[in-house]
Each structure stands twice: as C-alpha cells, then as structure tokens.
C-alpha cells in the first residue's frame, strides 16, 4: 500500500492597493496618498524560489497491506481463552481430560457456565487501551463456542448446558465499544482424532467453519491459526477461504501470511526485529518451523520476501513458569510492572502486544486481573501522556529535494502518522536535531518509520547535548512501526538522532520523548 501524505499547494501572495475615503466633509481633491512598499507600481524584490516537490520516495522491498498497517497501529490486543477447559482445567493439549478419554459427551458436560458477561470482557479491553480482542472459537479439544455447521460439539448441541452464542455476544460488544474482533480457530481437534476423520475431509470442514465465522461475525480483522499440531492442510487454500470474505484480514500463524508468531510465549521480540521475513525461502507455514525458529521468528529477516511482523503472545496468568491460558483461580498473576516490561519488549521492538486475559468460570474477567490491568493502564498514561518533544524546533542535515514544507523534520513532531520526514534517494545517513525551550529530563526515546513505504533503518544513535558538546545516550538497530529505547535519565536542552545505516533513504514518521518514573525498568 502506498498511502502517502498529501500536502496543500501554496498560492503566491498578491498585494492590493486601497483607496481611502475620509468620512468627513473636508475637501480631499488635492490629497495625495504616497506609494508604500508593495503598492502597485513599485516592483518587489525577488525572493528565493521555493523548491519543487520532488515526489514521495518509492516503496522499498516488501510492504504491508492496509490491514497489516491497521493491525500494527492497534498495538495492544486482548486474548480470551474460554471454553470447556475453563471449567475442567484440561485443554486439548493433554492426552486425556483429567484421566478420562476425550469424547463429545464429556466436553458438553464439562462446559457449565451460569453467566457469560461478554460485554464486561470487551469493556475491560476498551477502557484500558486494547483495540482488538481475539476469542478461542474452538481450541484443541474441539469444543465450539458457536453453532458450528461442521460439528455437533458446540453450544447449540441439545446436551450442552448453556446455549449462548459467545461469539455473537462478543460481536455485539465489540460494535458497542468500538473494539475490533479477531477469531482463533485451532487446526488441532481432539474430536476429529476421536472420529478418525481423514485430513482431506477435515480440511474441507475446517474451511467451511472458517468461512462461517468470517461471514457470520463480520468484520473479523484477524484470524488466528495456532501452529500446535496444525497438520498438513493446503494452507494457501485455507488462507484464500478467509481472504475471500475479507481481503484485509490479518492471518496469524507460525509463518503468516498476515503476522507471525514471535517464536516464544514470553511476550517479547528480539531487539533487532524486522517486519519482513522469508516465508517462501524458509518454507514457513502453520505446520512447519524449520531450524532454530526462536531466532528467526523473533528477529525476522532483513530484506525478507514478505511483510509479516511479529505478534508477541503471553498470558497474564502463570502456572509455575508456564502460561495459564485458561482460567485458574489459584494461578499466579503477572504484575503491572511485568506488563510494562513486555510492552517495551513487544510494541517497543516493532511487534504487537497480545495478552491473554482468560474469563473466569463465573463468566467475567476476575477482579485480580482487573486490578493488574488497571494499574498497567495508569503506568502507561503516567509515562506517555506527556511527550517532552512537543514544542521543540527540528532541523536536519538533509531534506528530500530541500522541500522542507513536504518532507522536513517538523513532520516528526506533528502527531500525524501519515506525514513523514524523508531524504533524497541517494542519502541513507542523516542527523536530525531537536532543540527544546529549556532543559528536559527523559529516559525513553521513541521513533517510528512510515511503514507503508517499507522498513529501512538498520542502526541509529541518540545523542544529547551537554555544555555545548554532544555525547551518545543510546543506540539502536531496527525501528519499524515503533521502537522505544530505554536508557538512564538525562537532562538536556537538545537531542540529536543520527541515522547510521539504512537500506534505502530513511522515511521517519514520528519522534516521542518521555520520562518513566514509575516502573524502575
């Protein structure tokens, strides 16, 4: 996608003379009004001609779709693992369900909600800055939270204790609170295993279920394909089934094509993190992870053949050193400081923050989770509500075509993602200086690239001015959609960003400077 900033043309100013008519009875026949500069008859001195717009930079390498840009701009997503495992404590990853063989009858009996307050789930997300939710429509056990036309192991079954269409309740809540909706549909299915259904037959059923979900609960902005025992489907055919309903839907899997698993369930990306990855070159699919996947999924591939940024998933609940994906009353909880650390290591490293908040067996998000989430929100507001770069004067050693009006560094401070700073095509290093009105104290520095034109920057340094000389504060590698550097607190009246290496001319969207006094990170 090439969604470029539009800049209004500037008309030349034309000065007009005026004739003044006195509002009294004096004789004005001989009154002479002298010429003044700018009046007709007096030529103006020529000024410097304004540089012409050289045109926007061409897109570089693999670039995101509109759907992928919107997904990354949402930044924080909330995951809801909910189903029979909420009540039994056993999901499909276990060989048995608490010692009993997997069966449809068992799953239907296990699922026993008395209330389901989906509105509270989504309201919690909306009030705390989460712009998308994802629900486990079917986990590995095979139990479905909607009336699946391809299965009888669902809430519509007459032997199920609660027939609420959970997805429809969520769809209504998402519309009410302005939150986007994503759906998780596990390819692994214990009920398919029990029935002995062939891969070919199950693939058809899976695609029909996916199309039903995409259509019935539209708009679905993300479709989550868990790679655990994903099987040997024709994944191109599965993806096309989803794209036929919504071409901009972001499909998550081990290898995209919309976004990729980050390679761990710890919620963090590598410090060097490319949004591009060699999906074709590495042979990636939901069912295939060749080699040391934790390395390349966490960092991406410089100049990769596909745009497929990392989604960093984890759960707010813990069972020992493992995530508690489904609700457990006795599970431990991460605290707000830990969530801030993961925010810096996901969103702050060109990824997306996906936090699982499993609803309880009472049908609500538990008060223990709510307290942590609300404290996390207070921390973010305390840190990011005050941008110390606001009001600074920005200059740069190079501007694209000298067309400052269109591509100058002031665009980095306008809080508008779709305006950007850029250099000429052959200029891949540049210094940008911010001069403050008075001294500022900060310990967080944020940079964004304009990713609709690709990811370019390989390394950069942030410097601060002290006693008239510059010193390095912090260096970074990749930027992408967003990079947040964490460093020691420093007080200065000027900051300089040096783009050291870039695959093509730098195209930067925003700069932000903040002071984190609440986390101690």
Chain segment 178-194, per-residue pLDDT in tens: 999 999 999 999 999 99
Q: Is the peptide bond before 257 cis (omega within 30 degrees of 0)?
A: yes
Measured distance CA(483)–CA(351) in Å, rounded: 9
Q: Which residues pair with 167 in a beta bridge?
A: none
Domain boundary among 369, 384, 399: 384
CATH number of the domain to which 53 belongs: 2.60.120.260
Classify residue 520 as left (phi > 0), alpha (psi -120 to 50) or beta: left
Residues 259, 168, single domain; the answer is yes
The number of angstroms, rounded, from the C-alpha of 179 to the middle of its chain's C-alpha atoms is 14
The residue behind tokens 């001069």 is: 435
CA distances from 243 to 202, 216, 219 (A): 20, 15, 12
Same domain for 314 and 443, yes or no, is: no
Do residues 434 and 495 make contact, with C-beta atoms less than 8 angstroms apart?
yes
| Sequential DSSP letters for 407-457 | HSGGGGGSS-TT--EE--TT---EEEEEEEEEEEEEEEEEEEE-GGG---E
- Three-class secondary structure assignment of 258-318: CEEECCCCCCCCCCCCCCEECHHHHCCECCECCCCHHHHHHHCCCCCCEECCEEEEEECEE
411, 347: one domain: no
pLDDT of residue 321: 73
User: Residue 43 has what pLDDT?
Assistant: 55
Collect all residues with Cβ–Cβ distance below 8 Å to 13 and sequence separation of at least 6: none
- Where the chain has pLDDT below 50, the residues are 1-39
Write out the H or E segment, with its range, that includes residue 210: helix 199-216
Q: For residue 246, what are the CA distances in angstroms to 110, 179, 210, 249?
A: 34, 17, 12, 5
Question: In which element (H, E) is residue 110 found?
Answer: helix 104-110
Total of domains in the chain: 2
pLDDT of residue 12: 32
Give the span between the Cα atoms of 366 and 316, in whole angstroms: 12
Is residue 204 located within the same domain as residue 347? yes
Phi, psi of 164 (to 5 degrees): -60, 130
* C-alpha gyration radius of the chain: 28
Secondary structure in 3-state letters for 357-412: CCCCCCCCCCHHHHHHHHHHHHHHHHHHCCCCCCCCEEEECCCHHHCHHHHCHHHH
Residues 93 and 183 sit within 8 Å (Cβ to Cβ): no
393 in the same domain as 354 = no
Token pair in block for residue 466: 């002290």
Place of tokens 């001195």: 45
Residue 138, both tokens: 């079917």
For residue 458, what are the CA distances in angstroms to 72, 139, 445, 495?
Answer: 20, 39, 17, 20
* Shared domain check, 393 and 364: no
d(CA 220, CA 83) in angstroms, rounded, equals: 20
What tokens does 361 get? 């067996």
pLDDT tens digit string along 31-61? 343 444 444 555 556 667 889 999 999 999 9
Which two three-digit tokens encode residue 258? Answer: 């919309």
Burial of residue 12, with CB atoms counted within 10 A of its CB: 0-12 exposed, 13-18 middle, 19 or more buried:
exposed
State which residues form the domain around 333: 66-384
Neighbours of 450 (CB within 10 A): 27
Does 136 share its domain with 158?
A: yes
350 and 456 housed in the same domain? no
Residue 521's CB: how many other CB atoms inside 10 A?
14
Residue closest to 399 by CA, chosen among 472, 505, 475: 505
For residues 437 and 351, membership in a common domain is answered with no
Write down which residue in 349, 384, 419 finishes a domain: 384
Q: What is the pTM of this model?
A: 0.90
Q: How far apart are CA 2 and CA 327, in angstroms?
A: 43
Q: Are residues 143 and 268 in the same domain?
A: yes
Residue pair 409/394 in contact (Cβ under 8 Å)? The answer is: yes
pLDDT value of residue 85:
97
Same domain, 82 and 214: yes
Q: Does 394 lie in the same domain as 310?
A: no
In the listed set 342, 368, 384, which residue is the last one of a domain according to the structure? 384
CA distance 140 to 60: 40
CATH number of the domain within which 335 lies:
3.20.20.80
What residue has token string 């008309």? 11
């Amino acid at each position: 996608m090439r969604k470029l900033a539009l800049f209004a043309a500037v008309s030349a100013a034309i000065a007009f003379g005026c004739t003044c008519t006195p509002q009294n009875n004096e004789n004005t026949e001989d009154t002479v009004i002298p010429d003044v500069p700018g009046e007709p008859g007096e030529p103006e001195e020529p000024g410097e001609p304004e540089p012409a717009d050289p045109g926007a930079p061409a897109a570089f390498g693999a670039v995101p779709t509109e759907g992928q840009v919107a997904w990354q701009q949402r930044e924080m997503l909330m995951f809801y693992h909910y189903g029979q495992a909420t009540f039994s404590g056993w999901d499909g990853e276990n060989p048995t369900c608490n010692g009993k063989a997997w069966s449809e009858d068992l799953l239907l009996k296990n699922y026993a909600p008395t209330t389901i307050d989906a509105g509270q789930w989504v309201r919690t997300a909306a009030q705390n800055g989460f712009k998308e939710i994802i629900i486990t429509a079917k986990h590995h056990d095979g139990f479905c939270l909607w009336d699946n036309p391809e299965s009888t192991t669902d809430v519509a079954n007459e032997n199920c204790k609660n027939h609420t269409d959970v997805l429809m309740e969520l769809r209504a809540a998402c519309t009410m609170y302005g939150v986007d909706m994503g759906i998780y549909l596990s390819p692994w299915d214990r009920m398919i295993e029990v029935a002995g259904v062939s891969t070919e037959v199950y693939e058809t059923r899976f695609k029909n279920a996916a199309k039903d979900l995409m259509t019935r609960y539209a708009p679905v902005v993300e479709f989550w394909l868990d790679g655990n025992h994903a099987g040997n489907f024709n994944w191109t055919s599965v993806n096309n089934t989803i794209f036929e309903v919504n071409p901009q839907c972001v499909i998550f899997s081990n290898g995209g094509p919309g976004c990729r698993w980050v390679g761990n369930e710890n919620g963090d990306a590598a410090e060097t993190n490319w949004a591009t990855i060699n999906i074709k070159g590495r042979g990636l699919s939901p069912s295939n992870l060749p080699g040391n996947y934790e390395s390349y999924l966490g960092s991406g591939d410089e100049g990769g053949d596909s745009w497929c940024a990392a989604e960093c998933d984890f759960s707010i609940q813990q069972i020992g050193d493992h995530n508690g994906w489904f609700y457990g009353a006795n599970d431990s909880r991460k605290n707000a400081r830990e969530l801030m650390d993961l925010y810096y290591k996901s969103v702050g490293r060109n990824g997306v923050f996906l936090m699982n908040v499993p609803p309880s067996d009472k049908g609500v998000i538990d008060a223990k989770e709510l307290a942590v989430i609300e404290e996390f929100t207070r921390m973010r507001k305390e840190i990011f509500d005050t941008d110390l770069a606001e009001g600074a004067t920005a200059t740069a050693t190079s501007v694209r075509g000298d067309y400052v009006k269109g591509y100058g560094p002031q665009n980095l401070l306008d809080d508008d993602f779709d305006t950007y700073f850029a250099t000429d095509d052959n200029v891949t290093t540049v210094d940008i200086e911010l001069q403050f009105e008075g001294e500022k104290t900060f310990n967080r520095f944020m940079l964004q690239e304009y990713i609709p034109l690709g990811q370019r920057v390989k390394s950069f340094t942030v410097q601060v001015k002290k006693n008239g000389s510059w010193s390095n504060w912090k260096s970074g590698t990749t930027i992408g959609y967003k990079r947040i550097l964490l460093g020691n607190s420093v007080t200065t009246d000027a900051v300089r960003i040096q783009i050291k290496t870039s695959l093509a001319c730098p195209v930067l969207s925003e700069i932000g400077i903040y002071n984190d006094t609440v986390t101690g990170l």
